[in-house]
């Protein structure tokens, strides 16, 4: 990415922060990651959000769904100005929660974003095991919420849980999702018990 591309992203974010889009038209959840090499790990967040009916905002298109999210690469170390702008405009751009993933030992994007975007909550995703300490190691008074290494799917569910306190429709979607999980375990348990261990293993 060239310096002018970074500047153009910064300009776009600042323009969105001053636009008169209503809360229904702005993304509710922001997903950022330190590199596109993190995308496979962060894809779990995309899967959870789309499974629960969220639509991704791409380019300048405003999606039809009421609940939406956006996705960017923002590197704390290589594009610090972009990180500052992303986090500092988050509230004015209508974001209610940010999911931030980074890998390596200096996985600073989630914790720096949490400080800069405060009080917008940030859910950190350590992209690798070795990133866990860096993501969760915040001093008292500078909070971050975090999931275990690679658990971006859960990060998205947690983000929806936060939004669901204000949106009954999301609470219903979460409850339906949870019912589905229970039904899956129930049907597996019934099959295992009915077939017996050996047959179940062979047929799996």
Q: Which residues contribute to the site for ligand RP5 (CB under 6 A)?
A: 34-35, 37-38, 75, 102-104, 127
79 vs 85, beta carbon nearer ligand RP5: 79
Beta bridge partner(s), residue 29: 69, 97
Q: Minimum distance between the CB of residue 31 and ligand RP5, rounded to whole angstroms?
A: 13
Query: What DSSP designation does 90 have?
Result: T
Residues 145 and 96: their CA atoms lie apart, in Å, by 14
94 vs 103, beta carbon nearer ligand RP5: 103
Evaluate the CA torsion angle 26, 16, 156, 141 in order and state its sign: negative
Q: Are 138 and 111 in contact (CB under 8 A)?
A: yes
Q: Minimum distance between the CB of residue 132 and ligand RP5, rounded to whole angstroms?
A: 13
Cα angle for residues 187, 189, 192 (degrees, 5° grid): 110
77 vs 193, beta carbon nearer ligand RP5: 77
Q: Minimum distance between the CB of residue 127 and ligand RP5, rounded to whole angstroms?
A: 5
37 vs 187, beta carbon nearer ligand RP5: 37
Would you say how long the chain is, in residues?
A: 204
Q: Minimum distance between the CB of residue 136 and ligand RP5, rounded to whole angstroms?
A: 15
Angle between helices 80-89 and 3-18 (to 10 degrees): 10
Known binder of ligand: residue 78?
yes
Q: What are phi and psi of 15, to 5 degrees?
A: -65, -40
Known binder of ligand: residue 38?
yes
Residues annotated in the binding site for substrate, as ranges? 35, 38, 78
């Amino acid at each position: 990415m060239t310096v002018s591309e970074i500047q153009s992203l910064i300009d776009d974010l600042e323009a969105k922060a001053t636009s008169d889009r209503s809360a229904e038209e702005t993304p509710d959840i922001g997903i950022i990651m330190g590199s596109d090499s993190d995308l496979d790990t962060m894809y779990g967040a995309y899967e959870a959000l789309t499974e629960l009916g969220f639509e991704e905002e791409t380019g300048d298109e405003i999606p039809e769904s009421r609940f939406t999210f956006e996705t960017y690469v923002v590197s704390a170390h290589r594009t610090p100005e972009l990180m500052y702008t992303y986090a500092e405009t988050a509230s004015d751009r209508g974001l209610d929660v940010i999911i931030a993933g980074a890998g390596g030992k200096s996985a600073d994007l989630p914790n720096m974003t949490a400080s800069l975007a405060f009080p917008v909550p940030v859910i950190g995703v350590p992209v690798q095991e070795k990133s866990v300490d860096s993501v969760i190691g915040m001093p008292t008074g500078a909070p971050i919420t975090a999931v275990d290494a690679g658990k971006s799917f859960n990060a998205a569910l947690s983000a929806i849980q936060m939004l669901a306190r204000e949106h009954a429709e999301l609470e219903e979607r979460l409850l339906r999702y949870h019912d589905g999980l229970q039904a899956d375990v129930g049907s597996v348990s019934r099959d295992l018990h009915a077939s017996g261990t050996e047959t179940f293993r062979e047929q799996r």
